[in-house]
Amino acid sequence: MLSQPFLAYGRQSIDQSDIDHVVEALQSDFLTTGPWVERFERELAAYVGAKEAVVVANGTAALHLAMLALGVGPSDVVIVPSITFVASANCAAFCGAQVVFCDVDPLTGLMTDETFEDALKIVRCDYSELRFAGVVPVHYAGRAVALDQIAGRCAELDAFVVEDACHALGTLDKGVMVGACQYSQMAVFSFHPVKTLTTGEGGAITTNDTELARKLRALRSHGLEREPARFTGLGYGDDRDSGGWVYEMQALGYNYRLPDLNCALGVSQLQKMPHFAARRRRLVALYQSALTAARLPVSWTAPAAQTDPVFHLMAVQIDFRAIGKTRTEVMAELKARGVGTQVHYIPVHRQPYWQQHALGQRDLPGADAYYSQTLSLPLYPDMTDSDPAAVIAILKEVCGL
């Protein structure tokens, strides 16, 4: 029996300490651009092992600012895997750049060395008039993309790696935390309520490059510079060029700031990351055990030996043809029995906008195969240890087995 009347596929975990932190921020002198922002950035950077963290309004804003800070523009091409949320590709288009999609492993949904090289070959052979600017590998569901070879190839070509780590806070890859930017210029996170840590809405970019961090902070706040040592002059030639009130708009920026209220929640949530990570790992292990015992036409690929993921999604692969039901039917029957599910994701290269605008149009069989069978089952820390087995038992009933 399920521990709750309805298990969503994901949800936030909020307790009294989170509420207390937000109330403290509400009662302070600053509701935005204050000390909670600096504290959350400092503690987030320390948690992932990066020199800098820059918090922003959401994960999409983080991706956009990363592209802007790297100077991505209309003469550039960026490679993005097709199994991801649309923002991973849209961020390049926001800057006028072109996108070539790469295929993924049909069992994990991850970009591989081979699929990256296939996409790179298309960029360099068919679009040689454009610059290969970089790649946005996606650590899908919490699994980490192996980046050593991809990063090495990008370094040879003077191209960037920006990790889309929106699913992967807490994940370890070869003992190093995702977000430490061991193989990348930047890593991007999302703090949407269904993610491992939430700030309500919110996002962040981590980096080891202090100059990139400075650019990111300026771009998130209208492109303004407030440090007198960096002023270029307003043209007045007197104290109006250098007074304490003076700011200079030196770039076209955005209002992508994250308020102190959200950052206070983030500070509280970050303190619970060891618990969140342990619960997600425990629940995934219980799911794996239940699936093995159930003998269903449902598969789940164990993570690579050198990684220790904190899973954001319990995304399984179901052979819908074998059970004689469509995914829509299975999802509806699960919902009627109290189990919420979701599909992550429709391959981005299939989206109407990108069918018209992506370069290198071609079949991506791995992405299509992954999408055809994927289904995300409930996974969040407040589930009980009995829930995974109960979900799999209900799934077995729905499958008619």
Mean pLDDT of 269-286: 98
- Are 260 and 314 in a shared domain? no
Predicted local distance difference test score (pLDDT) of residue 237? 86
Which of 174, 195, 335, 396 is catalytic? The answer is 195
Same domain, 195 and 111: yes
Question: Per residue in 362-391, pLDDT tens?
Answer: 999 999 999 999 999 999 999 999 999 999
The tens digit of pLDDT for each residue in 152-211 reads 999 999 999 999 999 999 999 999 999 999 999 999 999 999 999 999 999 999 999 999
Task: Determine the structural domain holding residue 237 and report its residue range.
Answer: 16-271
**Is residue 8 a part of any domain in this protein?**
no
Q: Residue 375 belongs to a domain with what CATH number?
A: 3.90.1150.10
pLDDT-derived band at 243 (thresholds 50, 70, 90) equals confident
pLDDT of residue 38: 98
Confidence of residue 47 (pLDDT cuts 50, 70, 90): very high
- Please check the confidence at residue 329 and state whether its pLDDT lies above 90: yes
Q: Copy the structure tokens of residue 382.
A: 């407040």
Average pLDDT over residues 59-82: 98
Q: What is the mean pLDDT of residues 71-97?
A: 98
For all residues of the chain together, what is the average pLDDT? 97
Q: How many domains does the chain have?
A: 2
Mean pLDDT, rounded, for 10-34:
97
Q: Is the pLDDT of residue 242 over 90?
A: no
**Any catalytic annotation for residue 195?**
yes
130 & 154 share domain: yes
- Last-in-domain residue among 216, 241, 271: 271
- Whether the predicted pLDDT of 401 surpasses 90: no
For the residues 12-40, what does the mean pLDDT come to?
97
Q: What is the pLDDT of residue 127?
A: 97
